[in-house]
Structure 1
């Protein structure tokens, strides 16, 4: 018998809001987490993005809070990024349509005046980034005595972003008697540590193996020798505008993101593309995300600042223009598509210096990403000397990470490169790059051995 939201004994107001939001069947994480949360247990949930984990803690929390009481907050939800905080607040607002619960969302990047005014009016739920919560608490704007729920969402990202000190400070100031919920897509050692400090005999719910990409996402890999060829491949793929109708392109740096944005803007027009990264103002980022959500724009170019908390339905493709260096971010990036029972595709472009991280990603997700040959129509550019040199240095640094005794190419004895090795390296990427070896990567080798 198929599970239903009515099985959880939610009140009529919540069930009506769930139905109006278009949800009919609870996801696996919702089926497993809602009952123990309603029973007052501490819960640690391991679930990849796009599985409905926000509703898994929001719905039972709303049921337990029921209605507004006094002015002091009774629930605190911590989020690593402002985008995710806003997404959680949007979910709460959606499911509490017929409840009189009041929610305030707090994050940095904006002056605190408006947020302080909202807090002064009274609220039941606070959704906040750790830094802004501490700032306002220390200024006396947030009373914490009435807190009964503490939720930590995307705990792995919080640890990656260095929030562990702030989290411990928050744990010191909130009441000891409370219900704790921790959700994460991956379980690093730091997350285990904070879970030990944070949760008391938790119910552990793992709906898939750790760091498993959503089953609704198909993955593809292209070996692409350099930046210009990546642009050429992007252009080739986007010729199919029916298939690639709503696309997020992830880049590892603000510079690359701006370059990709400029190309797409020239090719498809400013009305069809937006870019978000840390240098963009908060309002610009919100407006760009909303334009992408509403379908006004076809392409969203982003750094990993947007990899989590960006809940957009019907994203057809995620393009990893660069392989992420924080390998766990791969799971979060591709989780932007294939959400809520929809299917999606994740395509990764990998140059020789990124193979190191790709190998680690495949080990993390315990599967090989299917390799697709570069289409014949994609022109393979010659790798510029400076880019070839930068990749060679990066590969040296990777070898030093794995082997501290490795001295690097500058310290190697001068000897002729073995033809077999050269052939193997160039053939591994793209046929066209083999023709570029003399002008590209071998120049870098010669330079390094001088």
Structure 2
């Protein structure tokens, strides 16, 4: 493996890397740094937590050399505010001994504050698509000096519906520029974007798409219903020595809030919840507290967790299985970062076994079953929840086999009753009474 110095990383960055404690490049960095330095478009595929952000930042900084002008020369597009802040923090660490200027902008804050932030001049701008478009339309930022455009977390960018905005940027950015597209997975949508966005790209890939981090031990527990899942997560998190820093994933913000209330009541240590209904300051404070070790347990939905780059997460718990299977890879990639070991535990009800099997096919790896701890109280499943599970299983089977007819298949529509085309008063038998109230028959 080559050293950072052999890869041609600039002296100021080398000094910062030495201070951070990065001694050797990761595989994606070893491949991507020369590719980006070549000036060609680059398609980078690497698992979450492998250092792909630094893989494109270091060669970009090497090209920019020093602060120059007012307008940004490199733009990094990211899908969420959390990721925008995270990339900004990475840049701050790497530029400790450089005079290059940067800014990180995102929604949830008045755009005028960000306009004031970039007005003195910047070299690198990290932005979410919506906020960058706000600044451009207001004339607060110019793209005329842009030489490099990075689309980071491309798979999530497309899942969140940013393709129309990306196309708008491609129309107004300078034609002569280097394009870099980085993604943890490479589904069909990302492949289509790469054809539209990149010209004869160099492809750098350190693992097949949707391959989980090697040092993550993956397990699942068969859990029949929601209330038993609550009992199980409460039981596991009582063990503070084993579950040192835990990220719990839930499929919706409502479920996340429910889990938060139970864990906060039954577990030791500080607990925070992260989802789209939380205000920006609340979300930032929760992530920072989790990073700093002030919070042991963070409960989050998939979208809110993007951009959480926290070392030493011991466990990822999937309270629900994601139906977007590549989200599973992103989830478990929150642990086992920077060559550390980690564990993922998924709670799987009967109607989630289908998703587990599909995830195993995607990863080309098995998730090992672990037994339900004997101390956990198993709550009998309600008729309503059981019926909902059976309906979901029927739906899954129909997806696999269009000819499958389960217990909940659609019934044939009944023929409408035929009514006479004309009204015959003689066919009606009417009982009439006298006006004086005498109801005797005539």
TM over 0.5, shorter chain: yes
Structure-2 separation of matches of 1:191 and 1:328: 12
Tell me which residue corresponds to 2:154.
155
Moved more, 381-390 or 176-185: 381-390
CA contact (8 A) 2:394 2:408 kept: no
- Give the count of matched residue pairs: 411
Quick check: 1:208 aligned with 2:202?
no
Of 347, 350, 353 in structure 1, the residue corresponding to residue 348 of structure 2 is: 350
Tell me which residue corresponds to 1:68.
67
Moved more, 16-25 or 377-386: 377-386
CA contact (8 A) 1:78 1:129 kept: yes
CA contact (8 A) 1:248 1:318 kept: yes
After superposition, residues 239-250 of structure 1 pair within 5 angstroms as: 239-250=238-249
Q: Give the drift of 1:224.
A: 0.7
Structure-2 separation of matches of 1:125 and 1:245: 36
Structure-2 separation of matches of 1:382 and 1:280: 33
Tell me which residue corresponds to 2:267.
268
Q: Give the drift of 1:239.
A: 2.8
Structure-1 separation of matches of 2:232 and 2:73: 51
Q: Give the drift of 1:400.
A: 3.3
CA contact (8 A) 1:211 1:365 kept: yes
After superposition, residues 367-382 of structure 1 pair within 5 angstroms as: 367-382=365-380
TM-score, with length taken from structure 1:
0.89
CA contact (8 A) 2:274 2:305 kept: no
Quick check: 1:9 aligned with 2:2?
no
Q: Give the drift of 1:302.
A: 0.3
Higher helix share: 1
Q: Give the drift of 1:376.
A: 1.9
Quick check: 1:280 aligned with 2:299?
no
Quick check: 1:335 aligned with 2:321?
no
CA contact (8 A) 2:276 2:304 kept: no
After superposition, residues 160-199 of structure 1 pair within 5 angstroms as: 160-199=159-198
CA contact (8 A) 1:158 1:164 kept: yes
Structure-2 separation of matches of 1:395 and 1:305: 26
Q: Which secondary structure state, in structure 1, belongs to the residue aligned with residue 368 of structure 2?
A: coil
Tell me which residue corresponds to 2:229.
230
Tell me which residue corresponds to 1:318.
316
Tell me which residue corresponds to 2:440.
none
Q: Give the drift of 1:396.
A: 2.6
CA contact (8 A) 2:67 2:123 kept: yes
Q: Which secondary structure state, in structure 1, belongs to the residue aligned with residue 6 of structure 2?
A: helix
Structure-2 separation of matches of 1:245 and 1:80: 29
TM-score, with length taken from structure 2:
0.90
Q: Give the drift of 1:408.
A: 4.5
CA contact (8 A) 1:220 1:371 kept: yes
The CA deviation string for residues 101-121 of structure 1, in whole angstroms up to 9 with x for no partner, is 111111112211210111222
Q: Which secondary structure state, in structure 2, belongs to the residue aligned with residue 209 of structure 1?
A: coil
What is the root-mean-square deviation of aligned Cα atoms in Å?
Answer: 1.5
CA contact (8 A) 2:153 2:182 kept: yes
CA contact (8 A) 1:307 1:329 kept: no
Q: Give the drift of 1:216.
A: 1.4
Tell me which residue corresponds to 1:107.
106
Structure-2 separation of matches of 1:411 and 1:66: 65
Tell me which residue corresponds to 2:296.
298
Q: Give the drift of 1:411.
A: 4.5
Tell me which residue corresponds to 1:387.
385
Structure-1 separation of matches of 2:388 and 2:279: 31
Tell me which residue corresponds to 1:428.
none
Q: Which secondary structure state, in structure 1, belongs to the residue aligned with residue 360 of structure 2?
A: helix
Structure-1 separation of matches of 2:238 and 2:138: 54
Structure-1 separation of matches of 2:410 and 2:48: 45
Q: Give the drift of 1:99.
A: 1.0
Of 323, 342, 361 in structure 2, the residue corresponding to residue 363 of structure 1 is: 361
Structure-2 separation of matches of 1:325 and 1:256: 15
CA contact (8 A) 2:391 2:408 kept: no
Q: Which secondary structure state, in structure 2, belongs to the residue aligned with residue 328 of structure 1?
A: helix
| Greater C-alpha Rg | 2
After superposition, residues 401-420 of structure 1 pair within 5 angstroms as: 401-411=399-409
CA contact (8 A) 1:14 1:95 kept: yes
Tell me which residue corresponds to 2:424.
none
Structure-2 separation of matches of 1:98 and 1:3: 23
Q: Which secondary structure state, in structure 1, belongs to the residue aligned with residue 336 of structure 2?
A: coil
- Cα 1:235–1:192 change in 2 (3 A) is same
